[in-house]
Structure 1
Amino acid sequence: MIELPNDPAPNGAAPSLLDYGMTLRPGSGAAILRVDRKGSRYRVNVSYPPMLPSVSRIFIARLLKAKREGLRIPYPLIDVPQGSPGSPVVDGAGQSGTTINLRGLTPGYAAKEGYWLSIEDENGQHYLHNVSETGRVDASGEVALSITPELRWPFEDGAAVHLAKPMVEGFVDGNEWSWAIPVNRLIAIEFTLEEAG
Structure 2
Amino acid sequence: MPVIEMPRWAVPNGASPSFMDFGAILRPSTGAEVLRVDRLGSRYKARLSFPPFDDVDQGRVIVSRLIRAKRAGLRIEYPLMCPQPLQDAVVDGAGQAGTTLNIRGLTSGMVVREGFWLNVVRSTGQHFLHNVGGEVIADGSGRVALPLSEMLRRPFVDGDKVKLVQPMIEGLVDGDEQAWSLSIERFVGIEFTVEEAA
For residues 8 and 22 of structure 1, what CA distance do their matches in structure 2 show?
37
**3-state DSSP class of the match of 2:57?**
helix
Identity, in percent, stands at 52
Aligned pairs for 1:95-114 within 5 A: 95-114=96-115
Residue 7 (structure 1) shift: 1.2
For residues 36 and 152 of structure 2, what CA distance do their matches in structure 1 show?
18
For residues 175 and 69 of structure 1, what CA distance do their matches in structure 2 show?
14
Query: Could you tell me the TM-score, scaled by structure 2's length?
Result: 0.95
Residue 187 (structure 1) shift: 1.5
Residue 84 (structure 1) shift: 2.9
Residue 27 (structure 1) shift: 2.2
Does residue 55 of the first structure (1) align with residue 58 of the second (2)? yes
Does residue 72 of the first structure (1) align with residue 75 of the second (2)? yes
Contact 1:122–1:155 under 8 Å retained in 2: no
Amino acid at match of 2:66: L
Could you tell me which runs of 5 or more consecutive residues in structure 1 were left unpaired when the two chains were aligned. none
Amino acid at match of 2:8: N
**3-state DSSP class of the match of 1:132?**
coil
Query: Could you tell me the TM-score, scaled by structure 1's length?
Result: 0.96
**3-state DSSP class of the match of 1:55?**
helix
Aligned to 1:116: 117
For residues 10 and 156 of structure 2, what CA distance do their matches in structure 1 show?
33
Aligned to 1:180: 181
Aligned to 1:88: 89
Instruction: Give the count of matched residue pairs.
Output: 195
CA RMSD, 1 decimal: 1.0
Greater CA deviation, 48-57 or 91-100?
Answer: 48-57
Could you tell me which runs of 5 or more consecutive residues in structure 2 were left unpaired when the two chains were aligned. none
For residues 32 and 185 of structure 1, what CA distance do their matches in structure 2 show?
56
Amino acid at match of 2:58: V
**1:7-39 Cα distance to aligned partner (Å, 9 max, x none):** 141111111111111011122332211000001
